[in-house]
Amino acid sequence: MNPSNEMLKEIVKKKYSEIAEQSPEMNASSCCGAGGCSTQVYNIMSDDYDSLEGYHPDADLKLGCGLPTQYAKIKKGDTVVDLGSGAGNDCFVARHETGETGKVIGIDFTETMIKKARQNAENRGFNNVEFRYGDIEDMPLSDQMADVVVSNCVMNLVPDKSKAFSEVYRILKSGGHFSISDIVLNGELPEKIQNAAEMYAGCVSGAIQKNEYLDIVKKIGFKNIVVQSEKSIIIPDDILSSYLNEDELKIYNENKNIIQSLTLYAERPKACSGNCCC
């Protein structure tokens, strides 16, 4: 029996409460901090933030799968919302871009993460960065309040992705846009991985097909949809072997590019005014 949406949320909430207390090194060598660590590679998912202005290493839990803030076209004075803000990493990079005149709001539904992020902001004296406890499917934000929405390897954890993207559309201003890094699939995952709670929390078994993901964004009403970046995610054998036997592992590795990360850009269309043509 497939778990309900509420059960999936509880799995993620419990796991990410644990992840908040783990070392970044442990998170980086596993799948978004979930499952066993790999001895084969370092940084299975996460990209390198070191070259980005505003980056604070101690706020980086190594849970991302892209660099959405690098592509987000944030301008001075913008209001930016980060979905699944964790310890504040992308919020702090966004703050550098939006400057003192802008505002950054992080949303997370793990209380431990919110506490950690607030402490990180307090330690740095960042008065224009705030963190709110909330569900991405029902955000504690007013309509059309954000210029830019960013998110890093979080939407795949949300059971109802259509509802989540509808919320993104709702909170964006007319003409606003998002840049979201996420995990998608190009092919079918083995059933044992699909049904593994650890792999769901690890940003893998909750991922949907790339075409389905893009279709959701289109159906919500977003325009100018662009894949800004993409790469294959290779899960090492020493993690996969916890779920697959030798024969299953061999079959999987014949098409190991099934799992991909992408960074997706899209805009909420500008509202018509007067006699403008939509």
pLDDT of residue 42: 37
Quickly state the pLDDT bin for 230 (edges 50, 70, 90). Answer: very high
pLDDT of residue 194: 79
Helix (H) or strand (E) holding 24: helix 24-28
pLDDT of residue 29: 42
Contacts 24+ apart (CB under 8 A), 17-24: 17/110, 17/111, 17/112, 17/113, 19/61, 19/63, 20/61, 20/86, 20/87, 20/110, 20/112, 20/113, 20/116, 21/112, 22/61, 24/57, 24/60, 24/61, 24/62
- Under 8 Å between Cβ of 202 and 34: yes
Quickly state the pLDDT bin for 66 (edges 50, 70, 90). Answer: confident
Among all chains, which residue has been given the structure tokens 């893998």? 204
What would the pLDDT profile of 98-121 be if each residue is shown by its tens digit? Answer: 999 999 999 999 999 999 999 999
What would the pLDDT profile of 176-216 be if each residue is shown by its tens digit? Answer: 999 999 999 998 888 888 777 666 565 677 889 999 999 99
Q: Tell me how far the alpha carbon of residue 127 is from its chain's centroid.
A: 24
Amino acid at 61: L
pLDDT of residue 201: 61
pLDDT of residue 8: 76
Domain architecture of the chain: domains with CATH: 5-267 (3.40.50.150)
Q: How far apart are CA 137 and CA 154, in angstroms?
A: 12
Q: How far apart are CA 6 and CA 69, in angstroms?
A: 30
